[in-house]
Structure 1
Amino acid sequence: MATSFFSVLINGQIESGHFASYDNIYLKFSFVHGPDWAVVAGVEEGITQQSLSNLFFSRGDPRKAGCVWNFPIDLAFKSTNAYGWPQMLMTVYGPDLLGRDVVRGYGVVRVPRVPGIHTLEVPMFVPLASTTLNGFLSWASGRLPEFRDVRFIAGNEGREVTTVRSQGIVKVTLNVGTKDMERFGYVVRSLTGK
């Protein structure tokens, strides 16, 4: 009996984050996908524990220090169409000088389409104020610019007018498996090319 859908299986972990001047940070993640996709097992969104920087193990060099989460990811999708391939959205938070949680970085990565183990370094960014005055007011009030809906970073609409600054890297390891994609006409090759 032929299946009426194909499957994409994802497991792995959110390993670490490297933010040179920030500490005691945590990460919220979620997966977004197209309308033909459905989650059949696992959790689509989550939040890691807070992590202090391992400055001691970086031999005092803050550029090499990172926060380690090792947070597990385990998820299975089914679909009939590759349009809207899953993407993982990440938002890193940390305390400001007054102890309020503020955004320290946004990032998005498309789940690799090739089966196998993938180690990804996701560049993070933060939005900047639209004017110098707004930048000063946000700094003075402690309310830094942030997106109303984090799903905005996964799309194209409105991104061309958004000014951002690079800020940190998050390391993610994903083990991707697929099933029955060939029946729908998709060519799937492993990392070895076979």
Structure 2
Amino acid sequence: INGEQIQQQQQNIFQKNDNPKAFFFGQIVGGVNFDNSNGLFCEMVIEIGPKWKLKNCLQQPQIIQQNLIESIQTQTAYADQNNLFLWSHPFDFEFETSTVNGWPKAIFKVWNVDYHNKIDIVSYGIMNFPNHQGFHKIKINTWSPLGNWQYGNQQIFLGNQARLSNLDFVKYHEDKDSILGQSNGQIIVEFD
């Protein structure tokens, strides 16, 4: 191999890997201050921009629709004496992109499992991924939709919680003002 061939190989390497990559790894630590004596688990859906691609992650992701990736569901945990639902669920994502527009964000859904093994939604939350390196501990405030008087009666007599039919209510603040909701617990996420 002569110097010209080495230079050509180096140029090929740089041409193949010209898109920047973003790496995010850490864990969903748990949930705190949820008014719940049953088990809780958490689901995380990632939204990315159209020029972002998920290249690698710990678990096999499921593409829900364009730019929405269902990636993590924790195990069910029960509150300790400090009202902490400990999930300690790891994540590791590698994205490739050509722009910072459409930076990843996570939409969280917290689910309840009662003593009859009935599963129902408890609350929703949203978080933008950190945009600089280092350790980050983020507390995500969650909220629950209240619904109308019919849902209120169903919640009292059947234990059914009002649900969102579209996650856009969680993502876009101007739409959230059109529905009734109440604050709920917090989800703790750590990035390393």
After TM superposition, the score normalised by the length of structure 1 is 0.76
**1:134, distance to aligned residue in structure 2 (A):** 4.2
The whole-number CA distance in structure 2 between the counterparts of 1:80 and 1:160 is 34
What letter corresponds to residue 46 of structure 2 in structure 1? F
Structure 1, unpaired ranges of 5+: 56-63, 176-194
Tell me how large the CA RMSD over aligned residues is: 2.1
The whole-number CA distance in structure 2 between the counterparts of 1:52 and 1:107 is 20
Match of 1:172 in 2: 189
The secondary structure found in structure 2 opposite 1:14 is strand
Match of 1:47 in 2: 73
Match of 1:38 in 2: 53
Does the 8 Å contact 1:23/1:67 carry over to 2? no
Match of 2:30 in 1: 16
**1:21, distance to aligned residue in structure 2 (A):** 2.8
Match of 1:185 in 2: none
After TM superposition, the score normalised by the length of structure 2 is 0.77
Match of 1:78 in 2: 96
**1:144, distance to aligned residue in structure 2 (A):** 1.9
Percent identity of equivalent pairs: 20
What letter corresponds to residue 110 of structure 1 in structure 2? N
Does the 8 Å contact 1:90/1:106 carry over to 2? yes
Higher helix share: 2
Does the 8 Å contact 2:151/2:160 carry over to 1? no
The whole-number CA distance in structure 1 between the counterparts of 2:52 and 2:173 is 19
Does the 8 Å contact 1:89/1:151 carry over to 2? no
Please give the per-residue CA displacement for 1:153-173, whole angstroms capped at 9, x wherever unaligned: 123462231221111011100
Please give the per-residue CA displacement for 1:164-188, whole angstroms capped at 9, x wherever unaligned: 111101110013xxxxxxxxxxxxx
Structure 2, unpaired ranges of 5+: 1-13, 62-70
**1:25, distance to aligned residue in structure 2 (A):** 0.9
Q: How does 1:61-100 map to 2 (within 5 A)?
A: 64-96=82-114, 99-100=117-118
Query: Which is higher, the Rg of structure 1 or of structure 2?
Result: 2
Match of 2:170 in 1: 153
Does the 8 Å contact 2:37/2:78 carry over to 1? no
Q: Judge which range, 94-103 or 28-37, deviates more.
A: 94-103
